[in-house]
Amino acid sequence: MTGAECLLETLVANRINVCFMNPGTSEMHFVAGLDRVSGFRGVLCLYEGVCSGAADGYARIEGGPAAILLHLGPGLGNALSNLHNARKARSPVVCIVGEHATGHLKYDAPLTSDITSLARTVSHGIRTVESSAELGASVSETIAAALTPPGQIATLIVPADFSWLSSGPPGEIVPRLSRTMPPLENIRDAANVLRSGKDGAAIILGGSSTCPRGLNAVGRLAAATGVRVFMDRTAPRLASGRGCYQAPKVPYFPEDARAAFADVTHMILVEAEAPVSFFRYPNTPSSPVPETCMISVLAAKDEDGAGALEAVAEECGAREWLARPQESPVAPSHGPLTLSTVGLALAALLPESAIVSDEMVSSGAVVLPHLTCARAHDQLPITGGSIGQGLPVAVGAAIACPERKVVALEADGSAMYSLQALWTMAREGLNVLTVILANRRYRILDIEMKRTGAPSVGKRANDMMDLGRPDLDFVSLSRGLGVPATRATTLEEFTCQFRAAIGEPGPHLIEAVL
């Protein structure tokens, strides 16, 4: 068997069955192998940032990794931004990068670049295949690195000759390790804090702990002890909607976060780091946590946060919590189309078990609170702050779970970094309804401009934040990429279009003009 076939066989043996890819010459044997190895699906993306974002979305829903296949250093360069987000989401990703044939590197051919240095900025494990005999083992080691809890980006650099030469046998099957429970003393310490009766305790939920089990346990703790609960902004997947314990996210802006934590005297971290401001501004500190606040770790990022919360709840005798009774919201039928009415409509119309890929940026603050009273769903928020994640993540989520409806809530500015994802939705017939919230600004920059203390904004500065002149026509763009699309300029149009699209299989896009 060729090296490429060995690579594919090792992936399949390890239940890695999907590869988001944008191949080039050095990856041709891998591509040819798709017809020679069964149980493996190649998904073509027209730009590498779609590959990496899709692998992130896939991992967040499936739990295990997808592979991505990239062409040399520039291909990896295009994928870096969404690999950055995947790293912050702690998503396992097997990143395969083709390299020039070994003897060719010294000639410094035009596409030669330092792939290892690029990979090192996002990847925990980096291996370069160094012999045909060891190829299978290298693949297995890469998979093991990706699977290491809590999940990592692992990169395998494959010189072209090791793809076309005969290889040794496929690599071993890597055991999938479960997260372990944190030490018992962590449980006891946390329980002691919560039982002490002081009202300054807060829990920060991150990583995998924002699942229904974790939220249920923390809901019981909140009911029993009054502890305040916040969700870390980099948590990769949030259970939300009616019947779900609803904790606010750590506020984005440092003043709001400082106010929220002002009287917190003890912060308990569950698969989370202590909160930190996204940016530093001239007049705010980096940390919103009071200096006198005690910080303790209940579960480290590679441990079982939900299990730990259940153990603490047990220890505290926190047996139940009652969800606030919530009536099913009714979609508003008339009125202006605003972020608030979009939120109300989504709350009413989001189907049970929907997956929401959220890259609303500045619009999220208004829309997201409405979703807490929608039917139960999962949210996949932006994790690393690098723009262009939302549509690719929706692609990956829809591949991982074709029977659930994926709703991508996307800002217009951010959509333009990886719009190519729509074509893959069309090619694969993915069950994704994309809503573009078109305010025709980089609105977040309007806000940040004021916050950074920049002087008054003149015409030239304004031009750098204005997405008009010309307006982006997302209906035309979407159709150009093969995804049916409609434009909503009134609330009535929006609810009507959303209701129709949510009931149809396959992709659709609604441009909501705000």
Q: Would you count residue 387 as binding its own copies (CB under 8 A)?
A: yes
| 483 within 8 A of 509, measured Cβ to Cβ | yes
Q: Would you count residue 12 as binding its own copies (CB under 8 A)?
A: no
Name the DSSP letter for residue 227.
Answer: -
Q: Tokens standing for 246?
A: 């609803």
Residue 357 vs 495, nearer CB to its own copies? 357
Residue 159 vs 329, nearer CB to its own copies? 159
d(CA 238, CA 77) in angstroms, rounded, equals: 29
Residue 73 vs 149, nearer CB to its own copies? 73
Binding region for its own copies (CB under 8 A) out of 123-131, 264-272, 319-327, 419-427: 419-427
Among 1, 12, 77, 124, binds its own copies (CB under 8 A): 77
Residue 161 vs 378, nearer CB to its own copies? 161
Q: Tokens standing for 445?
A: 């920059």
Which residue type is seen at 439? Answer: N
Minimum Å gap between C-beta 125 and its own copies is 16
Among 166, 192, 296, 476, binds its own copies (CB under 8 A): 476
Reading phi first (left if > 0) and then psi (alpha if -120 to 50, else beta), residue 196 is in alpha
Q: Would you count residue 1 as binding its own copies (CB under 8 A)?
A: no
d(CA 408, CA 379) in angstroms, rounded, equals: 10
Among 35, 291, 327, 403, binds its own copies (CB under 8 A): 35
Which alpha helices (DSSP H) does 63-209 contain, by range?
72-88, 115-120, 135-147, 160-164, 184-195
Query: Which residues between 397 and 416 bind its own copies (CB under 8 A)?
Result: 413, 416
Neighbour-count burial for 105-127, b at 16+ CB within 10 Å, e otherwise: eeeeeeeebebbebbeebbebbb
Q: Would you count residue 286 as binding its own copies (CB under 8 A)?
A: yes
d(CA 396, CA 461) in angstroms, rounded, equals: 36
Binding region for its own copies (CB under 8 A) out of 23-31, 186-194, 258-266, 355-363: 23-31
Question: How many other CB atoms are found less than 10 A from the CB of residue 174?
Answer: 21
Query: Which residues between 210 and 239 bind its own copies (CB under 8 A)?
Result: 233-234
Query: Which residues between 294 and 323 bind its own copies (CB under 8 A)?
Result: none
Residue 92 vs 159, nearer CB to its own copies? 159
Binding region for its own copies (CB under 8 A) out of 115-123, 190-198, 207-215, 235-243: 115-123
Q: Would you count residue 6 as binding its own copies (CB under 8 A)?
A: no
Nearest to 210 by CA among 183, 187, 229: 229
Among 250, 371, 426, 501, binds its own copies (CB under 8 A): 426
* Chain centre distance of CA 349: 23
Strand order in the sheet with 125-128: 41-44, 18-21, 66-71, 93-99, 153-159, 125-128
Residue 216 vs 362, nearer CB to its own copies? 362
Minimum Å gap between C-beta 162 and its own copies is 12
d(CA 425, CA 507) in angstroms, rounded, equals: 6
Residue 331 vs 475, nearer CB to its own copies? 475
Q: Tokens standing for 311?
A: 């153990």
Minimum Å gap between C-beta 188 and its own copies is 29
Q: Tokens standing for 355?
A: 């997956």
Query: Which residues between 436 and 465 bind its own copies (CB under 8 A)?
Result: 444-445, 448-449, 451-461, 463-465
Minimum Å gap between C-beta 388 and its own copies is 8
Residue tagged 């009507």 (tokens)? 496
Among 109, 133, 259, 294, binds its own copies (CB under 8 A): 109
Query: Which residues between 129 and 188 bind its own copies (CB under 8 A)?
Result: 160-161, 164
Which alpha helices (DSSP H) does 249-406 contain, by range?
254-261, 305-315, 339-349, 364-371, 390-400
Nearest to 345 by CA among 331, 358, 333: 331
Q: Would you count residue 423 as binding its own copies (CB under 8 A)?
A: yes
Q: Would you count residue 377 as binding its own copies (CB under 8 A)?
A: no
